[in-house]
Structure 1
Amino acid sequence: MVKATSDFVLRPFEGLPGEPDWVALKEVVPAGTATARTTKEYGAKEVVVTTALPQAWPALHRSDGVILLALQTVGHSGDSSRDLAAALLEAIDAEPGSAIEQAGLPGPGPRLQDVLDLSVPFEVTVRDTFSYWLAEDVERTADLTAAIEEADASLIDTRKVEAVESGYWCRMGAREFLRWARAEDEQAVLDGLARLHARRASGFDGGKFVGYFRSSGLVVPVWELPRGTEAEDLEAPLAAFAPLLDEAVASTEPLDANERRARAGLVARQVTLR
């Protein structure tokens, strides 16, 4: 059903395959891509969903015909899904080699949930460079090379952790973190974290729970890791910890007094790690 208003939508990516990874590409991953496809009604076009594009373009119809849609851009309505769908459809209609500039508030129209084929899985590839911005047959001029190198210089080393869905290791200076976007309802995740924190079990072997942040209606818990921890070091500990967190989040038992105190303390643990 096409949404005809720009009312605020708390979870704009709800209903899309891989909702937490949409949030991760929007908030956590510096450079990354995933492939989507529009429905037959919208041309069955392959789409490369990316974290960012040059000059904060929302979309690009590359010279080789590839459509790129950026998530780390400025939205204009209260519904990021509507904003992105508007940019995507504009890019599809544009000539190859055209960038879509920032526009104003989009009018009534379809959302991503209406435009994309929801049977296509959303699988993220973390990138070490933004060189994918350019088609392979584009000549790398000095200016283009310099622009990509400048963008690459700002990248935070990030890797996807294979042991869990939507978990991302990153290195910021001399510190390492795990940021794990959760698919469940926000209140359920906070209750689950409180249950574990009350019994001092919110960390895992090699990971200390330090807080969380919210994005697009989902909760992204954050763990600080021992100095020098690499992404591959997390596979075994997270495989062991994930069922405990899943069980705590899925529980519908009322919080006891200790758990309620722990949950109240979580408010002070909202963090910004970007």
Structure 2
Amino acid sequence: MGKAARKKGPKKDRKPKVRDVFVARPFEGLAAEPELIALREFVPSATAKLTLAADADRAVTLGTVLPMAAAAFVRTDGEVFLGMQVQTRSSDISRDLGRSLRWALEAGPGDVLSVPDTTSEPAEGERLQDLLEPGAELDVQLHEDFSWWLPEDTEASGEVAMSLERANAAIMPTERLGPGAYWVLAGEKAHLRWVWPADENRLLMALARLSAAGEIGLGEGSRYAGSFRAHGLLVPVWDLDPEAHAREWLEPSQQLGSRLEAALKSLDDEPLNAAERRARDGLVGRQLTLR
């Protein structure tokens, strides 16, 4: 006898799988892209008010690091905070931050979101580009410690106090010299880290043009050290005289910025010559690892 036929049950409806694609340049399209990258990667203690595309009356503060590296929280006085430097991430940091921001806007005083939502399927309207005014710049405020975590006249206790102590101990003196440009005193060394919102290849060519002309530095006591990549943009780094105060590099950095802008524009009409191409090859080999 043949085998008995098996009855087939009804097919279960399956949700279509949403492809989760890695976003190499998560903040593209936002005017604040350089500042967002700097606050995410290397600025220790800073805050900035966000301009929402909707609910413009809502006040949201973007912070570099929140207590226990939380993704977002609402202070007991009702002020909403969104954290940039967190321990986990998905393939799209802008989506992580957008989800945390939406959570914070609906949370109440004292609520904390420990980690961002990195597992839900991607959906429309949940990235920073959807939630923030795209043309708004960030007015970054640097702080010497993390006392801004707490309302005025409030003392930290428990885990928050321990987190505050650890965070304060890790701060390196930092000054903002311009959009995306930050001076930092790292032990016995000082650096300028500068996030440029330009295509990586064009920026390298512009830097090579300045290098070949002997104009890539900020003057005496400075040296071009190399560059590193961060969220789709190239971040050039200069070593600076640690004995000089940050404000002494303000004018030289502005002059360098003007030279770099001019070099970028010149690429449209004048390709690199042989010396500049050799300089570019040398710059490509000087990639840094930020620690």
Partner of 2:63: 50
Tell whether 2:174 aligns with 1:158: yes
- Of 114-123 and 24-33, the range deviating more from structure 2: 114-123
- Is the CA contact (8 Å cut-off) linking 1:35 and 1:47 kept in structure 2? yes
Tell whether 2:141 aligns with 1:125: yes
Of the candidates 157, 178, 181, which is equivalent to residue 167 of structure 1? 181
Could you say what secondary structure the match of 2:285 adopts? Answer: helix
Could you list the per-position Cα deviations for residues 139-190 of structure 1 after superposition, in whole angstroms to 9, with x for gaps in the alignment?
43376444322210111111111xx322111101111111111111211111
Aligned length: 268
Of the candidates 251, 254, 262, which is equivalent to residue 279 of structure 2? 262
Partner of 2:289: 272
- Is the CA contact (8 Å cut-off) linking 1:211 and 1:266 kept in structure 2? yes
Partner of 1:70: 83
- Over aligned residue pairs, what C-alpha RMSD do you find? 2.0
- Is the CA contact (8 Å cut-off) linking 2:218 and 2:249 kept in structure 1? no
Segments of 5+ residues of structure 1 without an aligned counterpart are none
What amino acid is the match of 1:23?
I
Partner of 2:10: none
CA distance in 2, matches of 1:89, 1:5: 22
Tell whether 2:249 aligns with 1:234: yes
CA distance in 2, matches of 1:87, 1:142: 24
Return closer, same or farther for 1:43/1:198 CA change in 2, 3 Å cut-off. closer
Partner of 2:228: 213
Could you say what secondary structure the match of 1:177 adopts? Answer: strand
- Is the CA contact (8 Å cut-off) linking 1:9 and 1:79 kept in structure 2? yes
CA distance in 1, matches of 2:25, 2:118: 21
Return closer, same or farther for 1:244/1:37 CA change in 2, 3 Å cut-off. closer
- Is the CA contact (8 Å cut-off) linking 1:30 and 1:51 kept in structure 2? yes
The share of aligned pairs that are identical, in percent, is: 39
Tell whether 2:30 aligns with 1:16: yes
**TM-score normalised by structure 1 residue count:** 0.90
- Is the CA contact (8 Å cut-off) linking 2:228 and 2:234 kept in structure 1? yes
Larger radius of gyration: 2
Partner of 2:108: 95
What amino acid is the match of 1:147?
S
Cα deviation, residue 117, structure 1: 2.6
- Is the CA contact (8 Å cut-off) linking 2:30 and 2:135 kept in structure 1? no
Could you list the per-position Cα deviations for residues 173-232 of structure 1 after superposition, in whole angstroms to 9, with x for gaps in the alignment?
111111111111211111111111123321121321110111011111111112312110
Could you say what secondary structure the match of 1:204 adopts? Answer: coil
Return closer, same or farther for 1:230/1:6 CA change in 2, 3 Å cut-off. farther
Partner of 2:261: 246
